[in-house]
Structure 1
């Protein structure tokens, strides 16, 4: 690409795997704005804009939200450090997938021999996907039977690597956001809280298949031992239970329709 080359929004969206809507949204919020516009007002992105686009995508690939990404870019990031972090993330993903591959092969060998995998083998595979640690598994066993555990494990396995990001990044972040709203005194009927609850319940359905008994058991496990389930030893039980009550109150108000989200990205996982 020559120094004078510029990209319009459509070709850039296609080349980057994004949508035109996403690029327009990022322009609107000031995350990635084109440096040039044609006389007709069309957006044109320069090489410097492509560098920033890579930075945005790399940081998003590390699990950062758009607000955090904007703050990092505004403060300035070391390009070399960013590439190394991005590479480390990719290599870690490859290593995790290799562990998962080995464990799935053992499951496959067991099935090929006509033996149903033991619950321990399934939990081993689930752990490789980024599920709860041993303490969380022990807590779940107090509230779910073997068949219900197999549903969770099988559905998590079907999601593949995405299960890690859903369980370890998005779900905890949803709880943190809800707790910030709770401690700020925002009522559970507020649309912001209800949107968080809606997304939490969407994630729950992904892993439970909509089984109300499993969902109830998982929530009971969180109330029983939030430190084990969250992987945060300092998690106060009372605080988690107050948050659970807050979220349940939001669910009870969920029959009223939500107003449309004002953010083009807000409805996305």
Structure 2
């Protein structure tokens, strides 16, 4: 079968784009309906025509879908201006950091296990190394524990597990990016009532609802944990507390003005 070249025209009708991309016309129509990928042009007869810019977005959509993200998350990432290439780089960096951390933990536990197998009393350095490796990620959990009870923390973990591969991107990529964009608006003097600030807050609250199950009380307590110890919650020991708290107040103002 002859396949249409995508370099011979500046626009593509839906059937031609479906053939070239391996998608179905029905899928492209659905993505248009939900606003994920809408053609930039229409013919005089009302037929969809996709431009080169639309093809760039299609490529980004497919790249993020291949990473396991749900369609609503893909749309939010792209509409928030998140660079898909940076998503992949960030994920790769996170995977490599996890591999390195696991390697360190393995070495420490092997050394500790060797000492125990030899019926030796583990040395203080070996014990301290193992304790540090095991407890390195617990500071944020302890901060949450000051605001949530055990059942609420278990529920958060359960919902995070249910989201599967998307959890990493939602928590470690999209959410921080939303905060960074909000901080840039705040430091630029943008009013909390500005539409872009409200849009960012709405997406933050949407993500919060995904993990809290829509429990406004739990969501408020998680925000309080961030306000209490932003360095622990963000995983960034250098996070400036005053800036984080000013940002939290700024976002809360946007919420009050929105509601």
State TM-score, norm by structure 1.
Answer: 0.57
Runs of 4+ deviating beyond 6 Å: 37-41, 43-46, 48-51
2:224 aligned with 1:210: no
Unaligned runs of 5+ in 1: 29-36, 73-84, 97-131, 256-269
2:140 aligned with 1:136: yes
Distance 1:68 1:204, change over 3 A: closer
Q: Quick one: distance in 2 between partners of 1:217 and 1:167?
A: 17
Deviation at 1:148, TM superposition (A): 1.2
Deviates more, 1:11-20 or 1:238-247: 11-20
Distance 1:153 1:11, change over 3 A: farther
Deviation at 1:22, TM superposition (A): 4.2
Deviates more, 1:181-190 or 1:56-65: 56-65
Deviation at 1:135, TM superposition (A): 2.1
Q: Quick one: distance in 1 between partners of 2:190 and 2:144?
A: 31
- The 8 Å contact of residues 182 and 246 in structure 1, kept in 2 or not, is answered as yes
Q: Match of 1:110? A: none
State TM-score, norm by structure 2.
Answer: 0.59
Deviation at 1:171, TM superposition (A): 1.2
Unaligned runs of 5+ in 2: 7-11, 68-73, 100-135
Deviation at 1:154, TM superposition (A): 1.6
Q: Quick one: distance in 1 between partners of 2:181 and 2:170?
A: 15
Equivalent in 244, 247, 250 of residue 246 of structure 1: 250
Q: Quick one: distance in 2 between partners of 1:39 and 1:187?
A: 42
- RMSD between aligned residues: 4.0
Larger radius of gyration: 2
Q: Quick one: distance in 2 between partners of 1:166 and 1:247?
A: 19
* Structure 1 residues 118-267: aligned runs within 5 Å: 133-255=137-259
- The 8 Å contact of residues 59 and 69 in structure 1, kept in 2 or not, is answered as no
Deviation at 1:53, TM superposition (A): 6.8
How many pairs were matched up? 192
